[in-house]
Amino acid sequence: MRVIIAGGGTGGHIFPAISIAEEILWRNPGSCVLFIGTKEGLEKKTLTQKGYSLEYISSRGIVGKGIIRGIKGITSAFKGLFDSFDIIRKFGPDAVVGVGGYVSGPVVCAALLLLIPTAICEQNSIPGVTNRFLGRFVKRVFASFEASVRFFPRERTMVVGNPIRTEIMRESKSTRRESDGITVLVFGGSQGARTLNISVPKAFGILGRHDISIIHQTGEKDIDEVKKTYEWYGIRAAVFTFIENMADAYSQADLVIGRAGAGTIAEITALGKPSILVPYPFSAYGHQSENAMIMKRAGASLVLEDKDATPARLVEILRDLLKDDILGDMAKSAKSLGRPNAAKDIVDELHKLINIPNHKYQIANS
């Protein structure tokens, strides 16, 4: 089985792509997976470190970028389309999967024109322009939320959830580490979140509880400021620009405070982690707010708008949250929303698209 996976830019696109690749290669080590991304995205570092084959094309945003940047974006997309033709012809894939990001559009369009079976993954509750367009033509749309189904042809759309990295799923089957109190995991995606970096350390300082430990991913810009704030208040905190081993961080966490990207939602629901979500206010079509509201309605998360996520407001919420059995009830609600088999379901369907019996791969790994 030979598969191209196109997408990137942020961890929200890259990590689901890795999950799909892991599932393909686990079922049959003789399979080949090629990633296509851009040199500007996180994929260059992450995928090469993991030993995956990666090709680059030209691609950038078009919608909402202004006239000049929009024209440059269109030019870049056309160049990316022709680059994609060359890569696809050389690799000879059985299927092409788009997982989001600017690069996904040219690659999937090229595969469609070459009559190669195609699929896209829509991680968010409200899809962007690229996936709405591609969804009209691809063989399968793999949605994370039922709310996004209305944007695609129903007969070709499956709600499977957002694929989770293998190491994250292994944590869900392990026993949580014993600790002397409550551990809170704070992260605002792969780049960090300025609002959380400012408000959360001050909030825990004001809260003044000595039984709380923090694991905080800040991104590059704010790490020194965040470290100094925790030190000033005498709070036990492990602070990182980027957490390489998220499985370990999750294994320690009793509560997650973060943004409401699709990757975060998929991970905390699969693992059953209660959360305080602060949606990124400038996400396309407000999809993070919608993602967060799905969690809130299920009783799995408390939701704060970015402008309301002040230290004082966080202290109010934390005082109520860190008592009785509230965290336990939220954890059960989060777990009920989890779809830990997303990658398996996607690969099952890819096998059907290219007429490969799933039992062939099950036998190979039995």
Predicted confidence at residue 180, as pLDDT, reads 66
Predicted confidence at residue 272, as pLDDT, reads 93
pLDDT at 64 over 90: no
The three-state secondary structure class of 61 is coil
User: For 133-137, 189-193, 275-279, 314-318, which range has the lowest pLDDT when averaged over its residues?
Assistant: 189-193
Predicted confidence at residue 363, as pLDDT, reads 44
For the chain, give the percent of residues with pLDDT over 90: 58
Predicted confidence at residue 70, as pLDDT, reads 55
Q: Output the average pLDDT for the chain.
A: 87
Predicted confidence at residue 358, as pLDDT, reads 64
Reported as a single tens digit per residue, the pLDDT across 343-358 is 999 999 999 998 876 6
Residue pair 93/2 in contact by the 8 Å Cβ criterion: yes
User: For 133-147, 192-206, 217-231, 274-288, which range has the lowest pLDDT when averaged over its residues?
Assistant: 274-288
Reported as a single tens digit per residue, the pLDDT across 247-269 is 899 999 999 999 998 889 999 99
pLDDT at 366 over 70: no
pLDDT band at 14 (very low <50, low <70, confident <90, very high): confident
Residue pair 100/162 in contact by the 8 Å Cβ criterion: no
Q: Tell me which range, 11-20, 190-199, 228-237, is most confidently predicted by mean pLDDT.
A: 228-237
Predicted confidence at residue 9, as pLDDT, reads 72
Reported as a single tens digit per residue, the pLDDT across 47-57 is 888 888 999 88
Predicted confidence at residue 303, as pLDDT, reads 96
Fold of the domain built from segment(s) 2-164+340-364 = Rossmann fold (3.40.50)
Q: How many C-beta atoms surround the C-beta of residue 292 within 10 A?
A: 29
User: For 10-14, 54-58, 88-92, 257-261, which range has the lowest pLDDT when averaged over its residues?
Assistant: 10-14
Helix, strand, coil content of the chain in percent (nearest 5): 50, 15, 35
- Among 294, 8, 342, CA closest to 164: 342
| CATH code 3.40.50.2000 region(s) in the chain | 2-164+340-364, 168-337
CATH number, domain 168-337: 3.40.50.2000
Residue pair 32/55 in contact by the 8 Å Cβ criterion: no
